[in-house]
Structures are given as structure tokens and as C-alpha cells.
Amino acid sequence: MLYKKPGRPTDSVKDSLLKVRVDIDTLQALDDIAKKTQKNRSELIREILPIISSKDYENMISTSSLQRLEQYSVACNDYFENPNLKINVKDVSSNFPAFVDTIAPSPILYIKYPTYKIRILITSYNSTTNILEPLFKNIDGMSTIYLTQCFQFQTNQSQPKITFFPELMCLKSNLEENTTLKNVICSILMQNNIQYEVWPAYSIVGKNVTILNEDNQSYIINT
């Protein structure tokens, strides 16, 4: 009986084969990089592929599985933990669900993570402070309640009415915890006969990064 040597455990099975033709100089350059980084050719090729652009990530919030988007976010975070990291700042948003704030005193990389926002369908500011805040005073992991502008259309009016609804966001550390928190908040609202809407959204998590200025370009590096 033949014994098959097991490979590395993975959730992403590499069962598709890609063949490409390159000249000898390109192959030598690839092998040189592989030797320096102690990686094989396949690992290097997979690393240069973008995870997803920041704009595409936002567009997918309303149409895609939030679990899938969380995978992009986690992969993005893992990429920027790479000890050999060196990436041009201007390439971050086009390849990852992230952006860089270089204006802050210390540069910050912001990574987007999928979550939920809950819009509460009451229009009185007094209701926000007198009713909602006491309901959620013992709830951890949610944002402060904020007001967001909305347009109300009514059949007997020619112009939409501008109003403000209170909203809040779930800000736990992962999607599973945010889903649980969302359900708790919705349960509280239902028990108090308060109407609401749940919307997919994203939050941003910041981490300090080191910037290297070289040849009139700015790079994020890990040192």
C-alpha cells in the first residue's frame, strides 16, 4: 500500500494547476527571490495577486456574504504582518480592503472588517437620549448612538422630507461576535416595540505602521 505524504493543513485547497511560459532571465529572477525569502515559486506568485481593492470591498458589502468579506479582511491583516513586508503606500487601497493615513503624527493602516449597523426608526432626538440610551447602557461592543440623515418620501408631498434616524454599529472583534451582538440588540428593540432595520456595513481597525521614504516613493515596511 502506497503511503501519501500529507501536505500542510489548509482551508484553501490548491487543486488547480497553472502553467506559464517565461524566459530564462525571468525564471532566474524568480528563483533568486525565492531563495532570499525562503519561499517556493508558487508561494511567491500567489503573494503578488491582490486580495481585493478597497473600493470593490465596499461595493460587495450589500451583495456578498459577510463571511467571505471577513476572509478578505483577515487575509489582509495577515499580509501586513509579514516580516518581509515592503509595499508602496499608493498600492494599498487598490489591492487590499484597507487605506493608509500618512497625515497622522504616526502613520496608520486602517483595515476594513464586515459588521452590521442597526437603524432605529424613530425620529425624535429626545427618544434617542431618553429611551434608547438606557436600553443599551449595559451592552458592550456597540458604537455610540449617532444620527444619520435620511429622505422620507410621501405620496401627498412633492418634495422629500429630510429627517434623522438614530443608528449604531456592532464593533466586536469578529463577525461571529458581531452577529451575536446584533441579535441581542434587535431582541431588545423588539421587546420594546421599536421598529428597526439591519444593514450590512464595515468598520475600520487601525494599526501603526512604519513608512520608508525611498526614491521619492513611500513604502510600508516591517522592521
Whether pLDDT at 204 is above 90: yes
**pLDDT given for residue 15 in this prediction:** 61
What's the CA gap between 20 and 14, in Å, rounded?
A: 17
| pLDDT of the residue at 2 | 44
8-state DSSP, 159: S
Cell of 120: 432605529
Q: What is the pLDDT of residue 46?
A: 67
Q: What is the 3-class SS of 48-97, one letter each residue?
A: HCCCCCHHHHHHHCCCCCHHHHHHHHHHHHHHCCCCCCEEEHHHHHHHCC
Average pLDDT over residues 151-179: 85
CB 166 within 8 A of CB 147: yes
Q: What is the model's pLDDT at position 41?
A: 78
Read off the C-alpha cell for 73.
479582511
Task: Determine the pLDDT at residue 25.
Answer: 74
Instruction: List own/partner pairs for 63-69 with CB under 8 A and 24 or more apart.
Output: 66/114, 66/115, 66/175, 66/200, 67/175, 69/97, 69/114, 69/202
pLDDT tens-digit profile of 80-111?
999 889 999 999 999 999 999 988 789 999 99
Task: Please give the average per-residue pLDDT across 7-30, as a whole number.
Answer: 66
Per the CB < 8 A criterion, the answer to whether 94 and 51 are in contact is no
Give tens-digit pLDDT for 103-161: 878 999 999 999 999 999 987 666 677 889 899 999 999 999 998 888 777 667 677 77
Q: Looking at beta carbons, which pairs linking 211-217 to residues 24 or more positions away fall under 8 Å?
A: 211/89, 211/102, 211/107, 212/86, 217/88, 217/89, 217/90
Cβ neighbour number for residue 96 with a 10 Å cutoff: 25
Residue 221 has pLDDT above 70, yes or no: yes
pLDDT at 202 over 90: yes
**Residue of 117, 115, 112, 118 lying closest to 55 (CA atoms):** 112
Go through the domains of the chain in sequence order and give each one's CATH number.
24-113+205-221 (no CATH), 114-202 (3.30.70)
What per-residue confidence (pLDDT) applies to 17?
67
